[in-house]
């Protein structure tokens, strides 16, 4: 029940660390630019400052426009629409202006020097349309307009595209957030980071230093957690009462409010322009990026789908714009360092200037395989065809899989008659808080950590692999459970345990039980009823698993300051407090009638 691994060198990205550390420490760096500041005067670029772009409702957005000096003919135009203030895009703007494009860095309405009121995600599509058409009419533009950017600026591109401005020639969304999928909640579970982000984008100023102050945010999240206060009070706890935060909490699952922000099935059918989508194994918006991609593959016109390319690198959120070989304690090969500025430029040249197709895009899907003996790019016609074979491993145990030393097993053999495993989740247990605070701060430096389940979870190991295998895609975990409360939150996490004991995080998923059948409708659990839970939104990864390695599967209830706490009462989760808490007793079944199992997409090992 207590798992101590202090003496082993471990590398992991659990879900809460992924959100809290990767987003907090890297996200704003992703919005900023790579080092090497060059003034417009030294770069062969001229600048138009404080340009006002009129919108259909009379609001004017502020833009800073960069052009090649001595422009002799109209050129294609690139713009980014950002809530992070246009100044953070200067280096990108200079790069593209130096290479034959006009670049406009535009503040969204209500941020920076733009007029209006900022409501995240709600207005960008219509505003983006107006920007495209305004740019197309300027004397220095040849009528071809495109967009650049990732994260929120990746969402902007899809939101603008669904409005179908006539002069939008292509989009290149990186790490594109998808409202209702990966932000402001994930599978119906809100993150504390949501309030951190809203503070970053409050008012008209940048707020970068406040956003990046991890100790401050960790302290505030733990204050709410330790005092068992309702999640809806988080905005007041951090000192920034937010109407937007409260509005989001009033829409805790997929509804028309979020649907209106993104393309519909009919919109995907009408798309005609070429698209290049970019995401990463460790990108916090991977779920959003792949949702756009898969929806286009599903609903789009075949001719347009054939011109939609996808890149999945071994990158975190910021790395989808500026790759880094070092992510979460892992170091990847030189091949992972793709020059994405250059790739964007080659894509724009191909789609808007009649240039050659980028050499890197050898097929419609490019994905990077990490791990010993790999560290290379592979290509495929379709994401779904990469690993058609599934390795199915069934959970087994004698009824005591509560720690790593007496864990259950994952086997190809189907179970017969076996005792179920059990664990308990007490939402009033705050012991994980100090441990997680220690882990987060230590994670930044040396990656060592202590994993303590406190009895809240189950552990299963596979046998060591006799040969290397490549796992590429999204795993699926089918869990048969019963419990004595109407609702709770569960997490499944998968690791590779190397022969030397080192643990490498591979992927994770989480599920709120009330949304087990649909993210659009709640259905409380009946106490004692055995339910089939399908964890089917694990993050995509591609890794060569070493000979002698094992897989480790953890199943536990979520209990962390970085996520909205479910007190298991079955009420409105954002309004629950410690007074509503109910201890959950979880039973996990793995027998002939209820064969809980893990499905792993496996591809042949190749050089």
- Closest Cα to residue 218, out of 193, 199, 194, 198? 193
pLDDT in tens, 87-106: 999 999 999 999 999 999 99
CA distance 556 to 455: 9
Say how far apart CA 596 and CA 418 lie, in whole Å.
Answer: 12
- pLDDT reading at 605 higher than 50: yes
Predicted local confidence at residue 262, as pLDDT: 97
Q: Looking at residue 30, what is its pLDDT?
A: 38
Interior angle at CA 286, CA 283 and CA 288, nearest 5:
140
Predicted pLDDT at 316: 96
- What is the C-alpha separation between 510 and 320, in angstroms, rounded? 24
- What is the C-alpha to C-alpha distance for residues 459 and 183, in angstroms, rounded to an integer? 29
State the pLDDT at residue 7.
26
- Interacting residues of 419 by C-beta distance below 8 A, sequence separation 6+: 397, 398, 399
* Interval 413-452: pLDDT, tens: 999 999 999 999 999 999 877 665 555 544 333 332 334 4
Given a contact cutoff of 8 angstroms between Cβ atoms, the answer to whether 585 and 530 are in contact is: no
Q: Which of 426, 415, 411 is nearest to 457 (CA)?
A: 426
pLDDT at 405: 83
Question: Considering the domain 387-603, what is its CATH architecture?
Answer: Sandwich (2.60)
- Cis check for the bond before 184: say yes or no (omega within 30 of 0): yes
- Res 27 pLDDT > 80: no
pLDDT reported for residue 39: 53
DSSP state of 22: I
- Chain-centroid distance, C-alpha 365: 19
Residue 443 host element (H or E): helix 431-443
Q: In the Cβ-directed half-sphere of 346, how many Cα atoms lie within 13 Å?
A: 12
- Distance between CA 135 and CA 59 in Å, rounded? 16
- At residue 162, what are phi and psi to the nearest 5 degrees? -65, -15
The closest alpha carbon to 197, from 466, 182, 187, 42, belongs to 182
| pLDDT at residue number 448 | 28
List the strands of the sheet with 173-174, edge to edge. 149-150, 173-174, 275-282, 308-316, 365-369, 376-380
Query: Edge-to-edge, what's the strand order for the sheet holding 60-68?
Result: 45-54, 60-68, 102-107, 75-82, 141-147, 168-170
Count other C-beta atoms under 10 Å from residue 398's C-beta.
10
Tokens of 575: 């309004």
Mean pLDDT score across all residues of the chain: 90
Q: What is the secondary structure of 164-177 as a DSSP string?
A: --TTEEEB-EES--
Spatial distance between the Cα atoms of 467 and 549, rounded to a whole number of angstroms: 9
Which residues contact residue 164 at a Cβ distance below 8 angstroms, ignoring those fewer than 6 apart?
129, 267, 270
| pLDDT value of position 522 | 96
The pair of three-digit structure tokens given for residue 15, joined into one six-digit string: 């879900």
Digit-coded pLDDT (tens) for 321-358: 999 999 988 999 999 999 999 999 999 999 999 999 99
pLDDT tens-digit profile of 405-423? Answer: 889 999 999 999 999 999 9
Is residue 483's pLDDT more than 50? yes
Q: H/E element holding 584?
A: strand 584-589
The 10 Å CB-count burial string (b at 16+, else e) for 283-312 is bbbbbbbbbbbebbbebbeeebbebbbbbb
Residue 268's pLDDT is what? Answer: 98
Domain boundaries, the chain: 21-182+255-385, 189-249, 387-603
Average pLDDT over residues 577-582: 98
What is the pLDDT confidence band of residue 388, given thresholds at 50, 70 and 90? confident
Instruction: Please report the pLDDT score of residue 607 as a whole number.
Output: 57
Distance CA 128, CA 65 (A): 16
CATH topology of domain 21-182+255-385: Rossmann fold (3.40.50)
Q: 87-91, 157-161, 489-493, 576-580: lowest mean pLDDT where?
A: 87-91
Q: Given this model, what pLDDT does residue 404 score?
A: 83
Percent over 70 (pLDDT), the chain:
89
Least confident segment among 29-43, 86-100, 188-202, 207-221 = 29-43
Please give the Cα distance from 394 to 513 (Å, whole number). Answer: 22
């Amino acid at each position: 029940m207590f798992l101590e691994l202090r003496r082993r060198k471990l590398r992991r990205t659990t879900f809460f660390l992924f959100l809290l550390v990767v987003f907090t420490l890297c996200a704003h760096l992703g919005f900023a630019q790579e080092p090497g500041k060059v003034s417009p005067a030294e770069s062969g670029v001229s600048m138009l400052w404080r340009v006002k772009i009129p919108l259909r409702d009379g609001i004017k957005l502020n833009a800073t426009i960069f052009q090649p000096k001595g422009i002799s003919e109209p050129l294609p135009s690139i713009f980014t629409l950002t809530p992070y203030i246009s100044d953070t895009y200067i280096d990108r703007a200079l790069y593209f202006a130096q290479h034959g494009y006009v670049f406009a860095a535009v503040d969204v309405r209500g941020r920076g020097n733009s007029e209006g009121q900022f409501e995240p995600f709600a207005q960008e599509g219509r505003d983006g349309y107006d920007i495209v058409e305004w740019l197309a009419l300027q004397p220095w533009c040849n009528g071809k307009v495109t967009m650049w950017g990732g994260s929120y600026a990746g969402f902007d591109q899809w939101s603008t595209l669904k409005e179908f401005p006539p002069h939008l020639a292509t989009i290149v969304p990186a790490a594109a957030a998808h409202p209702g999928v990966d932000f402001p909640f994930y599978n119906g579970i809100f993150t504390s980071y949501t309030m951190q982000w809203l503070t970053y984008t409050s008012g008209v100023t940048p707020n970068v230093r406040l956003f990046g102050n991890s100790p401050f945010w960790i302290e505030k999240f733990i204050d709410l957690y330790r005092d068992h206060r309702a999640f809806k009070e988080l905005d007041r706890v951090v000192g920034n009462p937010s109407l937007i935060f409260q509005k989001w909490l009033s829409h805790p699952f997929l509804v028309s409010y979020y649907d209106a922000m993104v393309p519909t099935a009919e919109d995907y059918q009408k798309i005609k322009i070429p698209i290049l989508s970019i995401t990463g194994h460790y990108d916090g918006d991977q779920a959003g990026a792949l949702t756009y991609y898969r929806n286009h593959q599903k609903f789009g016109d075949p001719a347009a789908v054939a011109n939609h390319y996808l890149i999945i690198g071994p990158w975190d959120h910021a790395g989808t714009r500026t790759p880094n070989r070092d992510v979460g304690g892992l170091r990847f090969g030189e091949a992972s360092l793709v020059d994405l500025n250059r790739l964007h430029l080659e894509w724009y040249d191909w789609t808007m200037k009649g240039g050659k197709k980028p050499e890197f895009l050898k097929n419609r899907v490019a994905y990077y395989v990490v791990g010993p003996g790999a560290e290379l790019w592979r290509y495929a016609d379709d994401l779904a065809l990469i690993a058609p074979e599934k390795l199915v491993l069934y959970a087994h145990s004698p009824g005591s899989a509560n720690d790593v030393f007496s864990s259950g097993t994952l086997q190809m053999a189907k179970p017969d008659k076996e005792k179920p495993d059990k664990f308990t989740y007490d939402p009033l247990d705050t012991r994980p808080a100090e441990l997680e605070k220690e882990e987060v701060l230590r994670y930044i430096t040396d990656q060592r950590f202590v994993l303590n389940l406190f009895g809240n979870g189950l552990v299963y190991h596979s046998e060591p692999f006799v040969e290397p295998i490549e796992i590429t895609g999204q795993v699926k975990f089918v869990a048969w459970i019963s419990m004595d409360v109407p609702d709770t939150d569960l997490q499944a996490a998968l690791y590779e345990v190397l022969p030397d004991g080192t643990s490498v995080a591979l992927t994770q998923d989480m599920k709120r039980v009330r949304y087990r059948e649909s993210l659009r409708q709640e259905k409380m659990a009946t106490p004692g009823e055995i339910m089939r839970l399908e964890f089917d939104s694990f993050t995509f990864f591609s890794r060569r698993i070493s000979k002698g390695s094992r897989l480790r599967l953890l199943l536990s209830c979520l209990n962390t300051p970085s996520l909205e706490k479910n007190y298991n009462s079955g009420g409105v989760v954002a309004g629950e407090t410690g007074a509503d808490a109910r201890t959950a007793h979880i039973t996990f079944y793995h027998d002939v009638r209820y064969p809980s199992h893990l499905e792993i997409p496996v591809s042949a090992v190749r050089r």
